[in-house]
Amino acid sequence: MSRVTMIVAIVLIALILLIFVAGLLLAVATDVTQTAPRVQMVRDVFIIILAFQSILIVGALAVLIVQIARLINLLQNEVMPILQNTQETITTARTTVEFVGNNLTEPVMRLNGFLAALSVLLREVFGIRRALRRGETNNGAQD
């Protein structure tokens, strides 16, 4: 428990004990017929306070119900269309990415692969020709 909660609990317990001790002292130390009207007055004041508190609680619950109804209305009429638009946008973006991948990226990759293979082929062909020329010049020099 937090310190504030502990302090509030101790104060409430002390207040209840104080009220109990005061009532006990009034019952034992004074004449009951003289004290009864005072106790009835205090009782009536507490009943009025509790009735007022009940009215406030009912009012607060009514406000809470209205706020919950407004929140549900907000979710249904404003947030749901935004979520639907977001889902449509994501679907459109996914379709666009697939289209670009199929119609642009894949052909470019194929062209790059073809050009790489062609360059390797040409390098090897010219490498063989150079090797043959070197071999002919070396054979002619040895004869």
**What are the φ and ψ backbone dihedral angles of 31, each rounded to 5 degrees?**
-80, 130
Tell me the H-state helices in the chain. 3-29, 32-74, 80-100, 106-142
Sequence ranges of the domains in the chain: 1-30, 31-136
- What is the rounded distance in angstroms from the CA atom of residue 101 to the CA atom of residue 108? 10
61 φ/ψ sector (left φ>0, alpha ψ -120 to 50, else beta) = alpha
Rounded CA separation 48/121 (Å)? 102
Residue 1 has pLDDT above 70, yes or no: no
User: What mean pLDDT comes out for the span 19-46?
Assistant: 86
Give the model confidence (pLDDT) of 86-129 as tens digits.
999 999 999 998 888 888 888 888 999 999 999 888 888 888 77
Average pLDDT (9-32) is: 89
Distance CA 29, CA 78 (A): 69
Question: Is residue 1 classed as helix, strand or coil in its secondary structure?
Answer: coil
pLDDT at 143 over 60: no
In the chain the first and final C-alpha atoms are separated, in Å, by: 106
pTM summary value: 0.48
**pLDDT at residue 63, rounded to an integer:** 98
DSSP 75: I
Q: What percent of the chain clears pLDDT 90, i.e. is strictly above it? A: 48
